[in-house]
């Protein structure tokens, strides 16, 4: 019965074109030798060359990567714990509040999250900088990690864990030897998402940052606010390239994992 | 599990719980408290401050000085009201556009062979992984006065003078639809993919025309996906900052921009806090519906 109509094909084709053309245009323009967008000055890697001399930009890139590593790792640990708590701990006291605090940040406008975080840091008089942004990013990203890991935990058979415990494994050993390997792909996906969210964030970082911790998005934002700049085209193209390669590598890896795990899955 | 939870099991709950209480719930209470304060030329720039040293007198003085002035200001100043109205309007229409554009894409993908579906969904989600700021910046390139879009329109003789795109609401709509599209397609695809084919076949066998099958079977059955996608787009869109700031004009700011300006520009923290609380009040119903749906979906697996 599955018939693919021309309309179906056209919607997919146009949809993908809409999603990818702007990115393609940005990348093409990053190789434009001319400073003016209206003029095509031929292919050139001039803007990429100028980036290497931009110390402030490189500095920001370094801060952003460090920030993403720290907050993604913290968010993955906290988010995984939260997912295990939600799925395996049954009905503990305050579960509804806990679950609400997990789902609210997923849709909360960033301006509100950023503002509230900042006011907390001011209230407890912490100097703002790298670590305050890291805390803010961890809080926001851990909820995404929870949702991903939770989906995987619900998905697999609880009997596997019960069998391990019946055979005398302690809850901790069961988690380490049975649960953790099964949810590891989800944890890895969660870490990557948390990393990308941190690398990506402008609004929350703007609120919670302090002197000496200008992240790459904040730097890019202050440059592009005033208009299009060819150097920024180059920076953005590099970031697109890095993310593209990482995501494609990760989805290939996930595919291998699924292929290996599939025969072992019941049903 | 019937056995009493061990200390380690309790920690599994308590560590993330404590983290969220301290860094998610408490900040909101602080925002609420500052929204009841007055701006002050001090560090931090609001008053009253809680003075524990003054004892009971300090506590009463603190609560006595709180006021609803900031909310009264939001309720009466047309600038704030306009900002709220504009945000809701833009978010609502954007969500509608996203549904109209996203639904055929999600539906089309479910018609494909299983292996192709996975590849197509990866392609739809991939742009979400590239920085949001970059995707908006890409549109700044395209929508410029002498940018690629206008040059294409001129070359095709669709327009004779290049239209202005940047600093208009149209540009905001383009930006929101573009960057939120993956969030709309994903939940739609998730429900459409689980749709029971036999129901469609039954309708077709009974002689129901294809368009009628769509309106009376497919669309109602995909309602949970439509709702999830709509909420996932509408709620963040209302508070959007980057898109209207980079693509929109300066005439009527959206509410996210207003909070930003009050905070960074005017340094009026209490006003920014009050607008934030009002925004949460506006969004609390859709957020609760979203939470409820997400929790149910998570428990079903």
What pLDDT does residue B296 have? 81
Interchain contact, B16 vs A81, CB within 8 Å: yes
pLDDT band at residue A260, thresholds of 50, 70 and 90? low
- Give B-chain residues touching A146 at CB under 8 angstroms: 16
By Cβ distance, the residue of B204, B242, B295 closest to A202 is: B242
pLDDT tens string, chain B, 301 residues long: the values are 445 667 777 888 889 999 999 999 999 999 988 888 887 777 777 777 766 666 677 677 777 677 788 888 888 888 888 999 999 999 999 999 999 999 999 999 998 998 889 889 988 888 877 778 888 888 988 888 878 888 888 888 888 888 888 888 899 999 999 999 999 999 999 999 888 888 888 888 888 888 888 888 888 889 989 999 999 999 999 999 999 998 987 778 899 999 998 888 888 888 899 999 999 988 888 888 888 888 887 776 5
Q: Which tokens belong to A58?
A: 């490189």
State whether CATH 2.40.30.10 applies to domain A53-264: no
Q: What are A202-249's pLDDT values in tens digits?
A: 999 999 998 888 999 999 888 888 777 788 888 888 888 887 787 777
- Give A-chain residues touching B23 at CB under 8 angstroms: 117, 120, 135-136, 138-139
CATH fold group of domain B77-300 = MetI-like fold (1.10.3720)
Interchain contact, A104 vs B24, CB within 8 Å: yes
Instruction: State how far the alpha carbon of B123 is from the alpha carbons of A185, A218, B109, B176, in Å.
Output: 20, 28, 11, 19
* pLDDT > 90 fraction of chain A, expressed in percent and rounded: 29
Interchain contact, A119 vs B135, CB within 8 Å: no
By Cβ distance, the residue of A106, A123, A206 closest to B30 is: A123
Q: Which tokens belong to B231?
A: 């909420």
Which chain A residue shows the shortest CA-CA distance from B260? A111
Q: How distant is the Cα of A109 from the closest Cα of chain B, in angstroms?
A: 5
What pLDDT does residue B45 have? 75
- Give B-chain residues touching A31 at CB under 8 angstroms: none
Interchain contact, B16 vs A106, CB within 8 Å: no
Q: Which one of B19, B51, B288 would you mutate to disrupt binding with A, by most A Cβ within 10 Å of its Cβ?
A: B19
Q: Are A154 and B61 in contact (CB under 8 A)?
A: no
Q: Which of A63-67, A260-264, B197-201, B222-226 has the lowest mean pLDDT?
A: A260-264
Cα angle, residue B249 at apex, residues B248 and B254 outer, rounded to 5°? 65
Per-domain boundaries in chain A: 53-264
What pLDDT does residue A143 have? 93
Quote the ipTM score.
Answer: 0.84
Any idea which residue has 């996932």 for tokens? Answer: B232
pLDDT band at residue A49, thresholds of 50, 70 and 90? confident
Instruction: State how far the alpha carbon of B135 is from the alpha carbons of A67, A237, B131, in Å.
Output: 21, 11, 7
Q: What are A172-197's pLDDT values in tens digits?
A: 788 888 888 888 888 988 898 899 88
DSSP state letter for A226: T
Q: Which tokens belong to B213?
A: 């099958």
By Cβ distance, the residue of B123, B204, B242 closest to A203 is: B242
- Give A-chain residues touching B202 at CB under 8 angstroms: none
d(C-alpha B48, C-alpha B38), whole Å: 7
The average pLDDT across A13-28 equals 90
**SS3 label, residue A32:** strand
What pLDDT does residue A168 have? 82
**SS3 label, residue A202:** coil
Surface-to-core class of residue B224, CB atoms within 10 Å of its CB (0-12 exposed, 13-18 middle, 19+ buried)? middle
Q: How distant is the Cα of B2 from the closest Cα of chain A, in angstroms?
A: 10
Interface of B with A in 82-141 (CB under 8 A): 101-102, 104-105, 107-109, 111-113, 120, 122-124, 126-127, 129-135, 137-141
Interchain contact, A105 vs B24, CB within 8 Å: yes
Provide DSSP, chain B: --SPPPHHHHHHHHHHHHHHIIIIIHHHHHHHHHHTSEE-SSSSSEEPPP-GGGHHHHHHHHHHH--SHHHHHHHH-HHHHHHHHHHHHHHHHHHHHHHHHHHHHHHHHHTS-HHHHHHHHHHHHHHHHS-HHHHHHHHHHHHSTTSHHHHHHHHTTS-SSPPP-TTSHHHHHHHHHHHHHHHHHHHHHHHHHTS-HHHHHHHHHTT--HHHHIIIIIHHHTHHHHHHHHHHHHHHHHT--HHHHHHS-SSS--HHHHHHIIIIIS--HHHHHHHHHHHHHHHHHHHHHHHHHHHHHHHH-
Instruction: State how far the alpha carbon of B99 is from the alpha carbons of B177, B228, B229, in Å.
Output: 10, 11, 8
Which segments of chain B belong to CATH 1.10.3720.10? 77-300
The set of residues, in sequence order, having a beta carbon less than 8 Å from that of A158 and lying 6+ positions away, is none
Residue A69 has pLDDT above 90, yes or no: yes
Q: How distant is the Cα of A232 from the closest Cα of chain B, in angstroms?
A: 9
Interchain contact, A244 vs B131, CB within 8 Å: no
Residue A267 has pLDDT above 50, yes or no: no
Q: Are B102 and B229 in contact (CB under 8 A)?
A: yes
Q: What are A115-167's pLDDT values in tens digits?
A: 999 999 988 888 889 999 999 999 999 999 998 898 888 877 677 888 888 88
Q: How distant is the Cα of A222 from the closest Cα of chain B, in angstroms?
A: 11
The set of residues, in sequence order, having a beta carbon less than 8 Å from that of A92 and lying 6+ positions away, is A85, A98, B13
Per-residue three-class SS string for B36-100? CCEECCCCCCEECCCCHHHHHHHHHHHHHHCCCHHHHHHHHCHHHHHHHHHHHHHHHHHHHHHHH
- Give A-chain residues touching B108 at CB under 8 angstroms: 4, 7-9, 11-12, 15
pLDDT band at residue A258, thresholds of 50, 70 and 90? low
Q: Which one of A3, A22, A240 would you mutate to disrupt binding with B, by most B Cβ within 10 Å of its Cβ?
A: A22
By Cβ distance, the residue of A4, A116, A240 closest to B111 is: A4
Q: Enumerate the β-bridge partners of residue B47.
A: B38
d(C-alpha A106, C-alpha A87), whole Å: 18
Q: How distant is the Cα of B76 from the closest Cα of chain A, in angstroms?
A: 22
Interchain contact, B240 vs A109, CB within 8 Å: yes
Interchain contact, B133 vs A202, CB within 8 Å: yes
**Which one of A25-39, A62-76, B27-41, B108-122 scores highest in mean pLDDT?**
A62-76
């Amino acid at each position: 019965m599955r018939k693919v109509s021309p309309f179906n094909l056209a919607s997919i084709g146009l949809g993908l074109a809409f999603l990818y053309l702007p990115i393609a245009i940005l990348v093409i323009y990053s190789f434009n030798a001319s400073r003016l967008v209206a003029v095509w000055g031929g292919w050139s890697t001039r803007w990429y060359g100028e980036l290497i001399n931009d110390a402030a930009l490189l500095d920001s890139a370094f801060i952003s990567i460090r920030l993403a590593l720290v907050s993604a790792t913290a968010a993955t640990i906290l988010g995984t714990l939260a997912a295990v708590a939600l799925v395996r701990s049954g009905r503990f006291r305050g579960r509804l509040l806990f679950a609400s605090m997990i789902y609210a940040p997923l849709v909360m406008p960033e301006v509100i999250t950023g503002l509230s975080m900042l006011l907390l840091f001011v209230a407890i008089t912490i100097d703002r900088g790298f670590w305050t942004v890291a805390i803010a990013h961890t809080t926001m990203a851990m909820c995404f990690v929870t949702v991903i890991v939770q989906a995987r935990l619900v998905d697999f058979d609880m009997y596997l864990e019960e069998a391990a415990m019946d055979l005398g494994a302690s809850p901790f050993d069961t988690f380490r030897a049975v649960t953790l390997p099964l949810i590891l792909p989800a944890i890895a996906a969660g870490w990557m998402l948390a990393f990308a969210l941190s690398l990506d964030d402008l609004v929350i970082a703007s609120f919670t940052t302090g002197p000496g911790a200008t992240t790459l998005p904040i730097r890019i934002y202050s440059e592009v606010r005033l208009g299009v700049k060819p150097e920024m085209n180059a920076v953005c193209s590099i970031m697109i390239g890095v993310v593209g390669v990482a995501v494609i590598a990760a989805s290939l890896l996930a595919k291998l994992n699924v292929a290996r795990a599939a025969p072992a899955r019941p049903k | 599990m019937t056995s009493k939870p061990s200390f380690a099991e309790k920690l599994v709950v308590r560590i993330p719980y404590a983290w969220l209480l301290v860094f998610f719930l408490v900040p909101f209470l602080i925002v609420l408290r500052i929204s009841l304060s007055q701006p002050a030329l001090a560090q931090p720039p609001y008053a009253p401050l809680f003075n524990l040293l003054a004892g009971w007198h300090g506590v009463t003085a603190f609560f006595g000085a709180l006021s609803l002035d900031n909310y009264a200001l939001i309720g009466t100043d047309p600038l704030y009201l306009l900002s709220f109205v504009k945000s809701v309007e833009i978010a609502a229409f954007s969500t509608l556009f996203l549904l109209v554009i996203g639904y055929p894409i999600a539906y089309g993908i479910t018609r494909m062979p299983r292996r192709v579906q996975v590849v197509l969904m990866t392609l739809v989600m991939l742009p979400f992984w590239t920085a949001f700021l970059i995707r908006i910046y890409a549109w700044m390139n395209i929508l410029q006065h002498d940018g690629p879009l206008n040059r294409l329109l001129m070359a095709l003789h669709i327009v004779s003078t290049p239209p202005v795109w940047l600093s208009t609401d149209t540009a905001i709509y383009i930006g929101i639809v573009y960057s939120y599209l993956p969030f709309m397609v994903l939940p739609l695809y998730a429900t459409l993919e689980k749709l029971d084919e036999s129901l469609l076949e039954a309708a077709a066998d009974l002689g129901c025309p294809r368009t009628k099958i769509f309106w009376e079977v497919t669309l109602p059955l995909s309602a949970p996906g439509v709702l999830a996608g709509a909420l996932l787009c509408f709620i963040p869109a209302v508070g959007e900052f980057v898109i209207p700031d980079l693509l929109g004009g300066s005439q009527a700011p959206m509410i996210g921009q207003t909070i930003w300006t009050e905070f960074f520009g005017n340094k009026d923290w209490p006003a920014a806090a009050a607008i934030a609380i009002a925004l949460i009040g506006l969004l609390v119903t859709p957020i609760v519906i979203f939470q409820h749906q997400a929790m149910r979906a998570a428990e079903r697996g």
